[in-house]
Structure formats: structure tokens, C-alpha cells
Structure 1
Amino acid sequence: MMMKRIGLIASMTLLAGCATIPAPRVTPAAQAQALIPGSYEQNNIFAKIIRGEASAARVYEDDAVVAFMDIQPVERGHVLVISKTSKARNLLEIDLADLDKIMAVARRVGQAQMKALGANGFSIEQNNAYGQTVFHLHVHVIPRYRGQPWGEKGGPRQTVEQLTPDAERIKAELPAN
């Protein structure tokens, strides 16, 4: 009994100590560069989508975030969510305020996918260097359907026109902020 109490007190003290240490808002640039070398490419496909130079089947857009259909979806209704203002290539470089905005939209998109497409749930994926093909931080919101194998790699490439009907369905079911 005494050992359980000591363990509980130690755990509570550790957790309390962690709660008082503020998380860094951004990894220092030199540290991020040491881990994932390179620089932001202004002409990546996501930057072009943000600027309107490339088309996408958009699901959501505001001043800070845009969400659009993945052209090589893992599952029907696969959406990417990106910051329109951040030039972060990965999780180490993004300001947490920008990440909060992305994740809030990802949550809403997942809810809409379940309602609009009858998905049984959804998964969130975010790659950092390994597995990343576009070096503009993006979050995958992948609807999951009971009975489907767990896919991780994109399927056949689809056109914006092919993706637009599901984009419109998802958009129509987005919950309010």
C-alpha cells in the first residue's frame, strides 16, 4: 500500500513538472536543418495549389488552411490539409499555432468523411522526410472502411474531375468551427 502511494505521488509530481515546462513553438532552424537537410521549394505542387497555379478538388479553405483531395488516394475520400501561410517542410519546422489550425481542419474533415462517405472512421498521417514526397508539411486524413485492407500507399492517380464529386460531398458535411 505504501509503495503504491509513493509511486502515485512520484507520478503526480513528474506529471506536474512536465505541465509547467512550456513546449517550444518551433524547433530551432539549425536543429531542424541538421535532422532534415534542405530548404523550402517555392514551386512545389502544394505551393502552386495555394497560389492557384495548379488545380485541386478543394474541400475547405480559409485564410490560413486549405484542404483538398489527394490525387493518389489510399482510400476513397483521402484528403490533404496544409497551411497556406507556413513554409514548413515538416513537423520540426512548423510553428505550433499553424499546426493547431491544420489539425482543427483535419478533425472536421474526418467527421465530414464519416458522414458524407459512410466511412467507419478515419486515420491521420503526417510524414517527416521518410515517406514524404512533397516537402510542404501536410496532414493526410484518410477515411477507413470496415472490411478494407489497411492501405498506406496511394492508389491509381485520379483527375480533379474524378475527385470533385466526393470533395463536394465532404464539403457539404463539414461541421461548423
Structure 2
Amino acid sequence: MACLFCAIVAGETDAARVLEDDDFVGFLDIRPVFKGHVLLVPRQHVVTLPDLPAGLRDGFLAQAQRLATAMVEGLGAQGSFVATNNTVSQSVPHLHLHVVPRTKGDGLRGFFWPRTKYADDAEMTSYADRVRAALA
């Protein structure tokens, strides 16, 4: 199956583009949380954030910053919501960062994540150790 976002990047599929450079394209989400909701994608087909090549990381964040600023300056939003999914809840298997304009009282209630508790401090320490080891 062809990648929808690669088709947008290639110009084969129409999209309301708001940002383009050598490495990234930003375009309006066709099913926005709020009007002005932008998706930022690398031109290179990359599935998840962990797959993003090191040489693209700084540029990806720099463009995300520009888009977050544009939500305020260009749309009159008070701020923005910036998020990405990796595999789970990722509707298109091509890395994309959501930049959504936000205004206090806009009705977005955030996520309803299930909460859990560690059995004790030892279990918490065990999880911290495992994450730390994976980062080493």
C-alpha cells in the first residue's frame, strides 16, 4: 500500500501546504481537532520518531517550533498542543507531528489515560533502572 503522506510530499495528492523546506512539509490535517491543525512530516519516509535520522532531528524540532509560534501569531490562538504517536494510534505509518492551535476554554479535555500505581518504591526503582539502561 502506498503511503498517503509520501504522496502528499511528492505532490501526487493535494494538501493545503503551510510549510516546505528541503527536509519537511507541513500541511493542514483534513480532519482537524481545531481549524488550523497542521501535520509536520519529514520528506523522507520514516515511520516513527525513533526511526528519524539524527541529521533530521534538529530541523524537525525547529519546524515544530515555527509552527507552534504560527498558531499564536497567525491564528490568534493562545497556545498550541504538539504531539506525535508512534505505532499505537498512528493513523498513517509515516512520522507526523500534530500542531494544534489552542485557546483556553476550547473544549479539548486532553487524554483520558488509565492510571496505575507502582506496588512499592522497589518496583518504581526497577522501572527507572530499565529505562535508564535503555538510554545508555
**TM > 0.5:** yes
Structure 1: distance between partners of 2:39 and 2:80: 13
Q: Quick one: which of 80, 86, 89 aligns to 1:122?
A: 80
Structure 1 spans left out of the alignment, 5+ residues? 1-40, 154-177
Q: Are 2:49 and 1:91 aligned?
A: yes
How far is 1:113 from its partner?
1.3
Could you say what the CA RMSD is over the residues aligned between the two structures, in angstroms?
1.6
Q: How much has 1:96 moved relative to structure 2? A: 2.5
Return the match for 2:8 from 29, 43, 49: 49
Give 1:24-39 correspondences, 5 Å limit.
Answer: none
SS state of the match for residue 63, structure 1? Answer: coil
Q: CA deviation at 1:144?
A: 0.5
Q: Which residue of 1 aligns with 2:106?
A: 148
Instruction: Give secondary structure in 1 for the equivalent of 2:49.
Output: coil
TM-score by length of 2: 0.76
- Structure 2, unaligned runs of 5 or more: 112-136
Task: Choose the corresponding residue for 1:77, options 36, 43, 49.
Answer: 36
Matched length: 111
Counterpart residue type for residue 133 of structure 1: S
* Counterparts of residues 5-44 of structure 1 (less than 5 Å): 43-44=2-3
Structure 1 residue 112: Cα displacement? 1.1
The structure, 1 or 2, with the larger RCO (C-alpha pairs under 8 Å, 6+ apart) is 1
- Corresponding residue for 1:5? none
Please say which of residues 97-106 and 143-152 is displaced more in the overlay: 143-152
**Larger gyration radius, structure 1 or structure 2:** 1
SS at match of 1:73: coil
Distance of 1:133 and 1:102 partners within structure 2: 20
With the length of structure 1 as denominator, give the TM-score of the two structures: 0.59
Report the Cα distance in structure 2 between the residues aligned to 1:116 and 1:82, rounded to whole angstroms.
20
Distance apart, 1:146 and its partner CA: 1.4
Match 2:25 to one of 54, 59, 66? 66
1:151 Cα offset (Å): 5.7
Letter in 2 for 1:139: L
Which of 90, 94, 110 is 2:68 aligned to? 110
The 8 Å contact of residues 75 and 151 in structure 1, kept in 2 or not, is answered as no
The 2-side partners of 1:125 and 1:95 are apart by: 19
**TM-fit CA distance, 1:152:** 6.2
Structure 1 vs Structure 2: percent identity of aligned residues? 39
